[in-house]
Amino acid sequence: FFLSLKPENKTKGKLQKQICQVVLDHFEKQYSAELGDAWNSVRDVLTSPWCWQHALLLNRFSQGPGLESSLAEQGYRPAFPAALPYLPAAFRCYIRTAPGRFPAQKHQPGRLKEYYLLNAASLLPVLALEVKDGEGVLDLCAAPGGKSVAILQCACPGHFHCNEYDDLRSRWLEQTIESFIPDALVNLMMVSKLDGRQFGDLQPEFYDKVLVDAPCSNDRSWLFSADPQQAVLRLMQRKELSSLQFQLLRSAIKALRPGGSLVYSTCTLSKAENSDVINLILNSCRNVMPVDISEMARGVSQEFTFLSGTQQHELLVLPEKGRAWGPMYIAKLKKTSST
């Protein structure tokens, strides 16, 4: 594989974009109230893309010689310690404290990429899900596909269904799968474009594990909205997202078999889209109980900064300089019985 440096140039172009003041003003008001003093350091990171970091998730299906030694030479190290409750041997992620981005690899039909560039915090929902070989797994809102790829670095599900309702994002998902997963495994997967809110009725009690990486107000990208009018529209529609997230969760719970577990995640700091949605589910669904993920949180506390005061079944990764991962909210639930 030849490394393409073009994405580097794209990144530099993004750094020159202006912060959208209307979004920043909105966040300033909301997150100062919700996060208190922690918002000051989070804001400094979110508004400074030049300090953002990128991790590399290695692809176990395409291991190029010399990649890991090259990463070590550039200051990268394995991201997760062996003390985690769930960390399959094939799951290998590299990070470094310094900001900047390792060159991306071009999509080439018929050739698998060796690594996936991502925010290291986005791997935590996958580690929390604890997928085992042979289980039936649903990634309900799967695009662009990084978490689907990560799940397959952990285990080989007996049945793996990746769903993405949005047409453009669905094509992105399909290309990601083509770039990282061998044909023999792709043939065992199902990729669909269904409305996630209807999934539970279409396939009730079918899956052992469900990931709901829900559509959310993406704090990082919204701060650099190029079109102020679009930003205002997004902020107006933001109130509707928690309703969509709740409906997706209800559907995911229906799709879970009794005893199965679910992980909910977003890449926003917003309480309305995070703990409020989970609390609403716990209060309205009698057959769901929270699952303690504090042991995982302790195991990765050297790598990530978490908001204090959250419940044991949830965590919120706060970006800070040198550990500029997140925002990422994660909550885990278990289905105790049929509805």
Taken as a whole, the chain contains a residue count of 339
Closest CA to 267 of 214, 227, 230: 214
Closest CA to 273 of 227, 222, 226: 222
Q: Is 147 annotated as ligand-binding?
A: yes
Contacts for 241 with CB less than 8 Å, ≥ 6 apart: 215, 216, 217, 272, 273
Q: Is 273 annotated as ligand-binding?
A: no
Q: Is 164 annotated as ligand-binding?
A: yes
Alpha helices (H) along the chain: 6-15, 21-35, 38-46, 67-73, 124-129, 146-154, 167-180, 183-186, 199-202, 219-222, 228-255, 275-284, 294-299
Q: Is 150 annotated as ligand-binding?
A: no
Q: Is 258 annotated as ligand-binding?
A: no
Q: Is 205 annotated as ligand-binding?
A: no
Torsion-angle region of 205 (φ positive above 0: left; ψ -120 to 50: alpha; else: beta): left
**Token pair of 7, please?**
């994405």
Q: Is 13 annotated as ligand-binding?
A: no
267 catalytic per annotation? yes
Q: Is 144 annotated as ligand-binding?
A: yes
Active-site option among 156, 162, 267, 285: 267
CA distances to 6, 76, 95, 319 from 105, rounded to whole Å, are: 9, 18, 17, 26
Annotated binding site: 141-147, 164, 195, 213
Catalytic residues: 267
Annotated binding site for S-adenosyl-L-methionine: 141-147, 164, 195, 213
